[in-house]
Amino acid sequence: MSAWGLYLALVHHPVRDRAGGIITTSVTNLDVHDLARTARTYELRRYFLVTPVEAQQALVRHLLGHWNGGPGGERVPERAEALSRVTVVPTLDAACAEVLALEGAAPACWTTAARGGFPVTEFSTARALLAAREGPVVLVLGTGHGLADAVIARASVHLAPVRPGGYNHLPVRAAAAIILDRLLGDEA
């Protein structure tokens, strides 16, 4: 296992709407909890919620306070353990800056998208690349109808779709779980 960390970022802007326009989606409590638990399961170092909307940043911090040092964490400590890894940031750049500060090296960005049109790296290759990584990696997931092209363009690895050619409407919560399991799970 590499000494360099793996991170997760869930991007709420810039993402696409159904027609391909660039929008900002709302943070959902569900995505905070589900992805935090999945990130904890696969031992990721942090899970960044990326939203430029200050009111939503404040909402998430309030929610996290309920678990980190608040009454929720006393009642369900394993939930607090997951949520202690969550950080809200305004941009993907801010997430990358935080990783740089933590690890002393700028991270590579890996993206994934259900839609095609990009050269992709198959999971078996990506798993080997990740195991041998020589710096931190941020796995970047989109909300809405997927990451804006500008985000995908900055990635060094673009993961293959989970189900190429099939029904392409997995919840991001399910996609994240499958992707992390394929990259890090014990089972073949």
Site for its own copies, rule CB under 8 A:
30, 33-34, 37-38, 40-43, 78-79, 81-82, 122-124, 160, 162-164, 166-167, 169-171, 173-178, 181-182, 185-188
The owner of tokens 């993961």 is: 159
Nearer to its own copies, 141 or 177 (CB): 177
CB of 150 to its own copies, least distance (A): 25
CB of 162 to its own copies, least distance (A): 7
CB of 141 to its own copies, least distance (A): 13
CB of 109 to its own copies, least distance (A): 21
Tell me the C-alpha distance between 52 and 112, whole Å: 21
User: What contacts 111, CB < 8 A, 6 or more positions away?
Assistant: 140, 141, 142, 147, 151, 152, 155, 157, 158, 159
Nearer to its own copies, 77 or 105 (CB): 77
Beta partners for residue 49, in sequence order: 10, 88
CA atoms within 13 A on the CB side of 23: 14
CB of 38 to its own copies, least distance (A): 5
User: What contacts 74, CB < 8 A, 6 or more positions away?
Assistant: none
Nearer to its own copies, 52 or 81 (CB): 81
Nearer to its own copies, 85 or 133 (CB): 85
Nearer to its own copies, 48 or 123 (CB): 123
| DSSP character at residue 124 | H
Query: Cα-Cα-Cα-Cα dihedral of 43, 46, 50, 55, to 10°?
Result: 120
